[in-house]
Structure 1
């Protein structure tokens, strides 16, 4: 890792820095509230590093959930990352051992940055992408540790604090909407999700509905990929 790549990546990751410090602290507060100190927060953020998965982990730890339940719920919550990884195969080519870390670190926010950010002239793209992923995780770790320490020192009512993750998702989505000229994939994803929430949500639950929705969205985007790319090229001309 060279300084030029880190210097180029830092401004790009500043929005994630602001968000991850906040929601990382919220996670640390929640974990401390159920009896696990900042050391647990540090190692969970270092080895698990899945925002919504870690928020779920707080609930599972507090209820002493069975290992099978933990595995199933984690799969359901983080299933969308399989979709993220498929779209990044080309971008991660030639990264050597760093490819494994890039796959591990592909959170929603990091994916959003990697999907849109371009390496400045004179900066190695692979080093640039790696720096973005590394900085983002460091922000999350720092935030969760601060939250764990602060939660031990200051009594905090954590009711509703998990909404911080949803708020960050909304901010990222708005930023992506503004960054791209084509909005059909986003509109399509929203409509499909709402449709299956109405049809399947009340019978199968939101987690199962989400997996079905993601699968349908992926199929639709694959079928329409050529048309969407042609439209993008036409709009950019």
Structure 2
């Protein structure tokens, strides 16, 4: 009786947790493969720029692992080397990463279980992870799969920064144009996003906001353009919701 009961219970329990997570890990590897190479190369670029800025190579994996904020890390190199006051660094970080506040509105954090898992998913939320996890094909992804994808993305970034920093320290060859790599990645992500959902007003609105910001406040182009674009999207959503409610 006891043995049969134990067998029944073991059948209900299913395979161990690490075996249950393997399909999610394999799926996350496939999901992240498209941006994984780009993140590794960008991380390598960050590592090279760190060394070219006369910082120790280990600052590259430190920035990549602790800050992990993409464009902010590239800005942070200049801020650190210029001994910028901490208050100005904090303000810059707030302006550059303020878009993450809006990411949280649609990021599927509710699928992730556990307080620490949710905290980590929030910490490593990046543009690439957001673009992948909020796409139409990701609506059925489990929380474990999302978490694996974010962990892999950070791993690509940190590994790239480590390789780039250590290689630049061993082979001090000056490379030009590396600071454009992050911009190139965002362009590719924007193109992929348009291909997935061919919503023409969105890129047109983004372009108009950038041009207006360039004319009105060229010294604060990025925060101004992001603010205008966010306001335009909110207005559009409000109008769309109103039209749907009337229908």
Query: Given the superposition, is the C-alpha separation of residues 228 and 21 from structure 1 closer, same or farther in structure 2, using an over 3 Å criterion?
Result: farther
Match of 1:162 among 172, 179, 182: 179
After superposition, residues 34-183 of structure 1 pair within 5 angstroms as 34-88=53-107, 91-95=108-112, 96-97=114-115, 98-116=117-135, 118-119=137-138, 125-183=142-200
- Secondary structure of the 1:65 match is coil
| 1:94 Cα deviation after fit | 4.6
| 1:213 Cα deviation after fit | 2.8
Match of 1:5 among 6, 17, 24: 24
| 1:181 Cα deviation after fit | 2.9
TM-score scaled by structure 1?
0.84
Provide structure 1 residue ranges, at least 5 long, that are not aligned to the other structure: 232-237
Higher Cα Rg: structure 1 or 2? Answer: 2
| 1:146 Cα deviation after fit | 0.2
More displaced 10-residue stretch of structure 1: 37-46 or 57-66: 37-46
Q: Which has the higher contact order (CA 8 A, sep 6+)?
A: 1
Match of 1:210 among 222, 226, 230: 222
| 1:83 Cα deviation after fit | 2.2
Structure 1 segments, 4+ long, off by >6 Å, are none
Residue 235 of structure 2 corresponds to 223
- Secondary structure of the 1:53 match is helix
- Secondary structure of the 2:109 match is coil
Count of aligned positions:
222
Deviation digits for residues 142-201 of structure 1 (CA, Å, limit 9, x no counterpart): 000000110011112143211111111111111111111323223212222222222222
Query: Given the superposition, is the C-alpha separation of residues 66 and 226 from structure 1 closer, same or farther in structure 2, using an over 3 Å criterion?
Result: closer
> For the residues of structure 2 that align with 1:3 and 1:20, how far apart are their CA atoms?
23
Match of 1:198 among 215, 223, 232: 215
